[in-house]
Structure 1
Amino acid sequence: MFAVQFDRFGGPEVLAVGPFPEPHAGPGEIRVRAAAAGVAPVDLALRAGLSPSRDRLQLPHIPGVDAAGVIDEVGTDVTGWSAGDEVFGAVDVARLGGASAEFVVLRFWAAKPGSMSWEEAGAAGSGVETATRALDVLGVDEGATLLIDGAAGGVGSVAVQLAVARGARVVGTGRLESRDFLAGLGAIPVPYGPGLPERVRALGRIDLALDVAGAGSLPELVAITGAAASVLTLADFTGPSLGVRLSRGELAGEPDGRHGLALAATLSEEGRFHVPLREVFPIERAAQAHAAATRGPRHGKIALTTHR
């Protein structure tokens, strides 16, 4: 098969597209002939050698954790799915990648709705899971007011929509140029940065806060909500020292958000959810896609079309 891969750590220029041994579905897994894959922050960190998991990588390595495609192989213990089904999802967290390829083994998935393009679906899996898990851990429900710091990015833009679908009132921080984008997602936009408590005070009580950006805002988010227990961070490892929970998913034994994929598919069919796509690249331009993912404004996701 063909796949994006790197055999050394570095910038986007270390990526190449070439032949790679085909993976096969193990127990509880499916294999898809991929149509699209996402480019996530974890992919950039692993490629650059900046992730704590770099020592677990076997080089050459295929980046990518999210993909969508058509099932062509079903592993043991998998029922209700068969070759030809269109699905979207993500790889096993222990594999740290493998989605930017012709064939991809998915560990969790849902049926791709017709309302979702292949590119949207290919970039959705881990973002939907991460956002769903965070909302579950925080206990976001109808009537709550949630502040999302970093709401315009790949995970933040998904979290806004899923929280609104739960009946929450959402305040989203972002750059000034992100105002219309955030409002279009259903959030009340507020500029991020120092002085945030003063800017949100006029909006009324904030019950809960989710830090997606990891930009050092945790003390302000605690002040805004009035309690460290009301704040969750996905990106700031100083959180526990402030009494703020740090969500690390399966690695921390937290409840997974995999029920979120099917819900996102239903919401998409109802016209209440979409995966904002910033740019789409053909797989041959994976290096340019990784470079684009580091630049702002970060409105939504970047996807690769993996079919040829």
Structure 2
Amino acid sequence: MDLGVLRKVGHNEQVEVTTPFIITGYNGKSRMVGDFRALNTYNIPDTYPIPRIHETLTQLSQAKFIPAMDALKGFKKNVLTENGRELLRILLHCGIYEYLKMPFAITHTPSHYQIMINTIFNDNVSEGWLTIYIDNIIVFSETWENNLIRLEKVLQKILQVNLKISLNKFHFAYSELKALGHVLSGLSLGIDKNKVAGLLLKPMLQTKKQIQSFQVFSVHYRQHIKEFARISKSLYNFCDQQTVYEMTEESFKAYEELKKALTNFPFLLIPY
């Protein structure tokens, strides 16, 4: 509430509310999200494109300096209308609250944010030295002089629109850095081992949901896994909502093979 994200509303028996829950990411960090699955079924999908991660990363070819930064709580820059707030109410033990700014778990939240951030930096992106994947802002230059000039332009715009940057994820003049789940430079592309470490400690997938989650995760790194389609074929069957959960020997073998590939990955040359 102090951040202006939520506000308490009066009790009304006709108000529809949802119960929030806590999710934990692969990095071990937790956050509260509302269960807006019912609302999402009525949302009209936003067709604004989210950049493809590998296309974004390959733009860094030949770059010698790669400053990068993350917008802090970027989604919270999208302020909701009064009608939108009424649809996004959650029930806590101390009362009913409504979101004042766009929360996670709404289907078109990433697209709305991508529109906003692209509008801010449109000129720089068009010049070909800046790439943005949702809240990840990456500058790339072949010389130190250009690096300083371009970084100054980006920071000036950030100040103008009052964006906040996470200091923990602000890389000033790296020639190699970790971003978007990868280790990248102007020459090669690898997998960030920290992103897969927690996942690989799990000895066995226990539920259909876990299998689907692992499948989505591994697809993110399919470029690094030889014969990915063949290996993961048996796991793809679990993406079908009608499929009954049953971890077969073939599925278990595919799971173990993908885990091994994720820890023994090749670095890819850019362009690749």
| Both proteins in one fold, TM over 0.5 | no
Q: Which has the larger radius of gyration?
A: 2
- Greater helix proportion: 2
Please report the TM-score for the alignment, with normalisation by the length of structure 2: 0.25
Please report the TM-score for the alignment, with normalisation by the length of structure 1: 0.23
- Greater strand proportion: 1
